[in-house]
């Protein structure tokens, strides 16, 4: 049976009518799959007063089935709106993949002075959520990613990490670093290396980093790469993490 898809659009001022594509939804035979932006910077730049974020958008679609989605496309006309559903000759999975590539503009992330640790964590979570959604579906994937996860280290003390892909126990841990500012980069690297040594033999870990800007510390960045190489732990820049996230999801 043919699938259908609709584009999810954010319209902060329905009177003005300005809008941006923030997601796509595909449905077939009662099933619904969604895919959302990974990089939300454009949304934040356009509407700083009340920017939509992924968690708010996910909450809207949690538990939505095909009949409810079709009703939403016909009746919603406020800050979240939908295009008229279009038919596709592809399968449901292929339809959501093609629609996301065509209609979701994910610009390359800036490496600026303002890119903070929290920005890297958010980007890593969104990338991992997108990858897990492809593998397990949107409803299940939300429960597989945990923030601020405590994991017991070698000497029995619990250590806190930014993100973890979990089923019952953590399957893969993600720790974020930003080199966009030079003041604390060296201290962050030392602290992260200590955390890595505590758990790396128990669970795989990936370090996701925002590389240095023009005023950031390139020396600390290169030293970090050497440090994590010596620990046999993968360090990847944000722009490369979506591919790593896909690998993590596929290996689960």
| Residue 109: per-residue pLDDT | 57
Residue that is last in its domain, among 44, 77, 103:
103
Question: 133: closest CA among 161, 96, 105, 170?
Answer: 96
Same domain (yes/no): 93, 190: no
Note every long-range contact of 15-20, with CB atoms under 8 Å and residues 24 or more positions apart, other chains counting: 18/46, 19/81, 20/46
> What per-residue confidence (pLDDT) applies to 239?
82
- Token pair, residue 119, equals 């920005």
What pLDDT is attached to residue 70? 96
Contact criterion met (CB below 8 Å) for 209 and 178 = yes
Given 50, 69, 103, the domain boundary residue is: 103
Task: Write down the pLDDT at residue 217.
Answer: 66
Residue 85 lies in a domain: yes
What CA–CA distance (Å, rounded) separates 46 from 215?
26
Same domain, 208 and 168: yes
Residue 52 belongs to domain spanning: 3-103
pLDDT on residue 246: 86
What pLDDT is attached to residue 125? 92
Give the pair of three-digit tokens for residue 22. Answer: 């923030």
Q: Longest C-alpha distance within the chain, in Å? A: 60
Same domain, 92 and 133: no
Q: What is the pLDDT of residue 54?
A: 64
Report the distance separating Cα 20 and Cα 107, nearest Å: 13
Within a 10 A sphere around the Cβ of 2, how many other Cβ atoms? 12
Is residue 111 in some structural domain? no
Q: Six-digit token pair at 180?
A: 């966009």
Query: What integer pLDDT is reported at residue 197 of this predicted model?
Result: 92
Q: Where are the beta strands (DSSP E) in the chain?
A: 3-10, 20-28, 31-36, 80-82, 86-88, 145-152, 158-166, 170-178, 205-210, 234-237
Supply the pTM of this predicted model. 0.62
Task: Report if residue 108 sits inside a domain.
Answer: no
223 and 165 in one domain?
Answer: yes
The answer to whether residues 197 and 159 touch, using CB atoms and an 8 Å cutoff, is no
What's the average pLDDT block by block, 10 residues per block, for the chain (252 residues)?
91 81 93 84 68 70 89 92 95 91 75 74 90 78 89 86 92 92 78 91 93 72 90 90 88 76
According to the model, what pLDDT value does residue 134 have? 78
Residues 140 and 167 occupy one common structural domain: yes
d(CA 91, CA 3): 6
pLDDT for res 21 = 92
3-state secondary structure of 13: coil
What integer pLDDT is reported at residue 206 of this predicted model? 96
């Amino acid at each position: 049976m043919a699938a259908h898809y609709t584009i999810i659009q954010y319209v902060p001022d329905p009177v003005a009518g300005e809008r941006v594509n923030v997601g796509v939804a595909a449905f077939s035979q009662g099933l619904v799959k969604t895919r959302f932006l990974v990089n939300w910077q454009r949304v934040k730049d356009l509407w700083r007063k009340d920017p939509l974020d992924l968690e708010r958008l996910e909450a809207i679609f949690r538990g939505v089935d095909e009949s409810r989605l079709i009703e939403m496309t016909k009746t919603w006309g406020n800050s979240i709106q939908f295009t008229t559903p279009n038919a596709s000759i592809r399968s449901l999975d292929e339809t959501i993949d093609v629609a996301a590539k065509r209609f979701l503009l994910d610009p390359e992330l800036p490496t600026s002075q303002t890119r903070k640790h929290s920005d890297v964590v958010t980007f890593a979570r969104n990338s991992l959520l997108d990858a897990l959604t492809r593998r397990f579906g949107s409803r299940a994937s939300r429960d597989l990613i945990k923030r601020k996860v405590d994991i017991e280290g070698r000497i029995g003390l619990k250590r806190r990490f930014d993100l973890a892909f979990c089923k019952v126990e953590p399957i893969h841990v993600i720790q974020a670093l930003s080199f966009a500012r030079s003041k604390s980069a060296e201290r962050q690297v030392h602290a992260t290396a200590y955390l890595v040594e505590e758990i790396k033999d128990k669970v795989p870990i990936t370090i996701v980093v925002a590389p240095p800007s023009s005023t950031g510390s390139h020396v600390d960045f290169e030293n970090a790469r050497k440090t994590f190489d010596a620990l046999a732990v993968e360090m990847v820049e944000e722009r490369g993490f979506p591919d790593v996230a896909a690998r993590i999801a596929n290996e689960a």
